Structure 1
Amino acid sequence: MSDQAPLRADNLLDGVEATLRRVDADAFRVVPVLRQDDAADVGAITRDRALADAAVEVLRADPALDADSVTQEQQRFLMRFTDARIAELGAGLEEGRLPGMETRDLRAGERAIVDFCDPNATKALHIGHLRNIALGQAISSALRAAGAHVERQSHIGDAGRSMGEALAGYRRYAEPGTPAEAGVKSDQFVGDLYARYAREESPIADVADEDAPVARDLDERDDLAQQLLTGIEQDDADAVALWRTVRGWAVAGQNETLARLGVHFERILYDSDRTARTAEVARLGIERGVFVREERGTVAYLTGDDSYPVMPLTRADGFPTHHLRVVAMWRDMMIDEEGSALIHLSGDEWKAHVQHVEELLGRLEPALPVLPSQHVLHGMVSSEVDGELSSSKGTAQLIDELLDELVARPEVTAVAREGRPGVGAEDLVAMAVLGFCLDKPVVKGLILPPVARLLDPEANTGWRVALAWAKAWDPANDGPADPAPGDSDYRHIVLQSQLHRRNLAVALDGLDLLKYVRYVGHLSEWYLARDADPRVGRVMRAILSSGLGALGLVRSAGADGAGADGATRTTDELTTTGPR
């Protein structure tokens, strides 16, 4: 059990641990027996053989355990629960009461902000965004399942050079048309115009590799894009109206895509909200000796890192780079959200930025705790079909295109139940896509396979759990509790449910959900290999509602019970009535 997780009397494993603690508080460790064909249900080990006789005595006196099953060999103990205890627990699981699976006490009283996605308001979301979205959604949902108060936050880039190019693209090629008139989804409409302008009118300048993430902001040409950005800065009514319109189209379309994945944000931050503050931050940094003004008039941070010695913060004309806008945003949050935990997810191409911004903020505001308080850097996404992804070069498939292609596949339509809320094609496809992104060590790159392999349960844990979810919610599994402790499959899955709590606690200790993902994936694989059994199916509903909810994979209701309509739903409601 995680050191931070209190024991629960209704959890089978915690019950055994509590019994052994009566002998010694620290000398025993309870070990689940994972093989279904073993006679024992659970084991324990001790580091002190002198305590063995006392341990056997208290275990045989525990009413939840079959006294005759308790055996001891040197420092190891094996035992079996009574059929009555398994039946009692199984009935509760079948009825959706989730005995032994409650997790909301694990992080109760904690508050966290999880910042992820962070798109530019210049284009539609593409498959390169998927991993960041999946990880951010999973971490947020897992913390909420553990009882923390969590706000999901996204930082939208709407103020840099790329935004100016999107505005210029619309003005030059499409004004006064609208996405509706063009018959194109609004974010794709904006993205096509941005890409065309960037390709034809504003090819990216050559910059050092380490400055590639902010290359467009370093461009100093006085073209239509820059003129529109200057107009916004000077509060020109025409430029501001154009900016609000184009930004609104992009964000609305992105939100539609996120909704298809079951993702929404409680907090939205815009680059533009900090643009006016960047000049103040630049001045403050110069005054405090943290920044330098270079001979050409630019402001920069000297990192002391030979691999990335200079972090550019402004152009010579004072125009802020993405680096400075982010510094201003985090500094504001350090002031406004002091004491909060802020978890930020980003791709590892931003590693130097993350490291040096953290150092910079500590020097700029030494009296304040630095935010973000924790960074999760993940490997980048590439495609087995298209290779390196680039939206401006047209090599990044849009998320909407991938979802549309998957929804239409016969493998999906064959198992989807459109009349069964939460088990429709869109629900299963969202599980498949996000689940695939979670089943890989965070530090490693992620290669998206062709669509056919995304729908191969042996190749994609996400599709495997989606198939198990669909099987569990088959209407044939509806009915009252009918526990069968003597049935090997039933007993095994009831015992497996008791690992949910401790597995989630361990995953949250390091914000590494991979082992938890694989716990749910292995149970799904086991379940799919079994013949249909309504009793087992009802228990699987409880496990998957809790497990997939804690990973943010249930579109209609997350682990916090917040449905797409904003209504609050408990996990009990999910397991008894199904998602909706």
Structure 2
Amino acid sequence: MKHTLTDLLTDAVRTALTELYGADAQNQEITLQTTRREFEGEFTVVTFPLTRLAKKKPDVIARELGEYLKGNVSEVADFNVIKGFLNLVVADAYWKDFVLAAPQSGDFGQAPANGEKVIVEFASPNTNKPLHLGHIRNILLGWSTSQLLQKAGYDVKNVQIINDRGIAICKSMLAWQKFSDGATPASTGSKPDHFVGEYYVLFETKFREEYLAWQQSEEGKTFFKKSAKEGLSAEKFFASYKPKYFNEYSKLGAEAKEMLLDWEAGDAQVVALWKKMNGWVYEGFAATYTALGVHFDKLYYESNTYKLGKDMVELGIEKNVFRTRDDGSVYADLTDAKLSEKTLMRGDGTSIYITQDLGTARLRYDDFGATRMIYVVGDEQNHHFATLFELLKRLEEPYAKGLYHLSYGMVDLPTGRMKSREGTVVDADDLIKEVIHEAGLASADRAATEGLSPQEQREIVRQIGMAALKFHIIKVGPQKRMIFDPKESVDMQGQTGPYVQNAYVRTQAVWRKAGSDVDVSTAADYVDLAAAERDLASKLYAFPELVKLAAETYDPSLIAMYCYDLAKGLHKFWHDHSILSAETPAAVAFRLQLCRAVGHTLKGGMNLLGIDVPPRM
């Protein structure tokens, strides 16, 4: 037997073409698709590309191929033809043998190790604020992508680069220094990263207050009069001239910039404050990562990497890939790649953000030897990564062909875009608490968890809540911008994580009820499968190939929707067919084994998304 059923059917079609039409069909491309739901069958052969070889009409070819396959291939029980499409009905015996074999293992769908190393970068927050809903989408997408790649046979390392330096960090530091009166996370009972984030928001508040006072000054009135003639309101004025005001007029802005210069110069007091406040943030981040069920193999810090890349710029100059301007700055002309001219080094010898990224890519290659690097970053950075990858390609870096920007759409609220400076974000920790609370309310009247300890019941509620949150986000394709409604996310019905979890719970409950007296070996005697059993078997068969496709396309939403579809099939089967009271012992045994196979696959699929499935709910 061939490695897969699709391989077997594809080769059988080629053999049929040779025998029926006397043509060498070994190199003929065969298009085999999943049969549409409204037609009988599991696989469809598209015959239109075969007309030149067979010299017959598509519907004639389909009928002749169908007759041949039905008569010569034991795995094909029947066929039907719809306008030149040959729908093949797979034999019950094949589906029965399949269900009783591969899906019974917990590692169903696991590809063998291929020896290729992959780095997945995700999260990568700033240390001036806590994690929010946008970070959650990034983290869940990055984590599930790394799990998919592992399932597909890759050696995966999860990394992040923490943006722990710069003017935004100094704003939080300055606000704490000026307005905290020595308060700490411990003295206020605050989660440490939330504590620091409050001072980032406070800086913005004080900055606006300073601006409003300046606006009433003679200097401000003169400046504002000119802008008013241009038709700008006070709010639009502030939005348009904020950078200019910050850099040229603001006392707070001047202090923040001075603090940044002191940090870069290694001022002992500033560095000590920076370490203390960043330490608070890291403690808070760690708690949120634990709640989300993710971890990293290595952390990179911008404070350690921002000077990297200068050697690569020098190498680019030597290779004549980069050029030097009259002012001493270095740039790359990427216009032939439909990108803009990119500065890589300022005239004073200082580097910029993309210079750091060049060096960090090389550093990671040196650390892990990975030939593929996946950057999980929002789509507002599309141009940046296109430029970075082109630069590394021209530098002939050994990993340049394996770079990929997993670009995803931003998350908006029903009220509009989130803004960290104004505190209008959905905080990650608050959201986690909310979905768990809602899960508790939905589970309050259920008797299924009676007899479990309070701790076990709380853990099940946590798993249900986290499934609601994670599935709601992951089921949306990465490239799509999404509007996140917190109320909708905790809906326990419909196309949700808890709906899938409930299907898994049913597969466990039926085995508990069956006990240990069932002779599962009699499942081999089961003969005629019901339509719902065939449907579940074909869905199970699709799982390994779907894992491969989702890994290749970096799209965990494919697995989310697969799990939902499989769960829906299980629920329908559960409703329409008896399991423990089936008509024969063989039917009981087979259906129990079918439930086990579905349970293993649901658990494996949901685990790829970072979602736990409880045994009861």
1:486 aligns to what?
529
Please tell me the residue identity of whatever aligns with 1:246.
M
1:225-251 per-position Cα deviation (integer Å, ceiling 9, x unaligned): 445444443444443333223222212
Is 1:125 the counterpart of 2:131? The answer is yes
Query: Which of 405, 412, 417 is the equivalent residue of 1:375?
Result: 405
- Letter paired with 1:553: G
1:197 corresponds to 2:206: no
What's the C-alpha RMSD, in Å, of the aligned pairs?
4.5
The answer to whether the aligner puts 1:544 opposite 2:573 as a matched pair is no
**C-alpha contact (below 8 Å) 2:162/2:301 kept by paired residues:** yes
Equivalent residues in 2 for 1:491-530 (5 A)? Answer: 491-530=534-573
The aligned counterpart of 1:427 is: 463
Aligned-partner residue type, residue 326 of structure 1: D
The match for 1:468 among 491, 503, 507 is: 503
- Scaled by the length of structure 2, the TM-score of the pair is 0.72
Q: Map Cα deviations across residues 21-53 of structure 1 (whole Å, 9 max, x no partner).
A: 555544544444454x86544444444475876
- How far did 1:71 drift? 6.3
Change (3 A) 1:475 1:398: farther
Cα distance change of structure 1 residues 324 and 199 upon mapping to structure 2, 3 Å threshold: farther
Alignment match, 2:279: 248
Q: Which residue of 1 aligns with 2:426?
A: 397
Matched, 1:138 2:118: no
1:267 corresponds to which residue? 298
Q: CA separation in 1, counterparts of 2:377 and 2:428?
A: 18
Q: Verify the 8 A CA contact 2:508 2:599 in the aligned structure 1.
A: yes
For 1:323 and 1:344, the matched residues in 2 are separated by 14
The residue type equivalent to 1:151 in the other structure is K
Worse overlay, 402-411 or 318-327:
318-327
Residue 444 (structure 1) aligns with: 480
SS at match of 2:442: helix
The range that moved more, 126-135 or 411-420, is: 411-420
The amino acid of 1:242's aligned partner reads L
Question: For each residue in 1:304-363, what CA deviation from the matched residue of structure 2 results, as whole angstroms up to 9, or x when unmatched?
Answer: 69x997878789998765444434423544666666111112112223322333445556
- The within-5 A match list for 1:545-560 is 545-550=603-608, 552-555=609-612
Contact 1:454 1:463 in 2 (8 A): no
Q: Which residue of 1 aligns with 2:111?
A: 104
2:436–2:466: 8 Å Cα contact kept in structure 1?
no
Give 2:611's aligned amino acid. V
Does residue 388 of structure 1 match 2:417?
A: yes
> Deviations 1:95-131 (Å, cap 9, x if unpaired)?
4366xx53414x7222211111111122211012222
The answer to whether the Cα contact below 8 Å between 2:493 and 2:499 also exists between their aligned partners in 1 is yes
- Cα separation, partners in 2 of 1:39 and 1:336, compared to 1, 3 Å: closer
Deviates more, 1:89-98 or 1:129-138: 89-98
d(CA) in 2 for partners of 1:354 and 1:531? 48
Counting only pairs closer than 5 Å after superposition, residues 139-218 of structure 1 correspond to structure 2 as 139-174=145-180, 176-201=182-207
Tell me if structure 2 keeps the 8 A contact 1:13–1:498.
no
- Residue 108 of structure 1 aligns to a residue in which SS? coil
- How far off its partner does 1:381 sit? 0.8
Q: 1:86 deviation in Å? A: 2.9
What is the SS of the residue equivalent to 1:440? coil
Listed one character per residue, the Cα deviations across residues 106-161 of structure 1 (whole Å, up to 9, x for unaligned) are: x7222211111111122211012222222212221111111111111111101111
CA contact (8 A) 2:376 2:406 kept: yes
Cα pair distance change 1:27/1:369, threshold 3 Å: closer
Q: Is the 8 A contact 2:162 2:302 kept in 1?
A: yes
Q: Post-superposition shift, 1:497?
A: 0.5
Residue 39 to residue 54, structure 1, CA distance change in 2 (3 Å): closer
84-93 or 37-46, larger mean C-alpha shift: 37-46
**Cα distance in 1 between the residues matched to 2:482 and 2:264:** 39
Per the alignment, in what secondary structure is the counterpart of residue 306 of structure 2? helix
Runs (5+) with no aligned partner, structure 1: 1-6, 557-576
Q: TM-score, normalised by structure 1?
A: 0.76
Say whether 1:92 aligns with 2:101.
Answer: yes
Aligned to 2:9: 16
**Does the aligned pair in 2 maintain the 1:152–1:266 contact within 8 Å?**
yes
Q: Which residue number corresponds to residue 387 of structure 2?
A: 356
Partners of 2:322 and 2:474 lie apart in 1 by 39
Indicate the SS of the match to 1:159. Answer: coil
In structure 2, give the amino acid aligned to 1:499. Answer: A
Secondary structure of the equivalent of 1:499?
helix
Aligned mates of 1:461, 1:277 — CA distance in 2: 44
Distance 1:122 1:494, change over 3 A: same
Distance change (3 Å), C-alpha of 1:156 and 1:79: same
Report Cα offsets for 1:527-548 as digits up to 9, x if no partner.
3455466635433212212322
The structure-2 alpha-carbon separation of the partners of 1:310 and 1:29, relative to structure 1 and needing over 3 Å to count, comes to: closer
* SS of corresponding position for 2:412: strand
Retained in 1: the 8 A contact 2:120–2:156?
Answer: yes
Distance 1:383 1:72 in 2: 48
Aligned partner of 1:169: which letter?
A
Tell me how far 1:370 sits from its aligned partner: 3.8
The structure-2 alpha-carbon separation of the partners of 1:471 and 1:123, relative to structure 1 and needing over 3 Å to count, comes to farther
Cα distance change, pair 91–461 in 1 and its aligned pair in 2 (3 A): same
**Larger RCO: Structure 1 or Structure 2 (Cα < 8 Å, ≥ 6 residues apart)?**
1
8 Å contact kept, 1:220–1:315: no
> Deviation of residue 449 (structure 1)?
1.6
Aligned residues: 535
Q: Is the 8 A contact 1:507 1:515 kept in 2?
A: yes
User: Take 1:421 and 1:529, find their aligned partners in 2: how far apart are those partners?
Assistant: 28
3-state SS of paired residue (2:100): helix
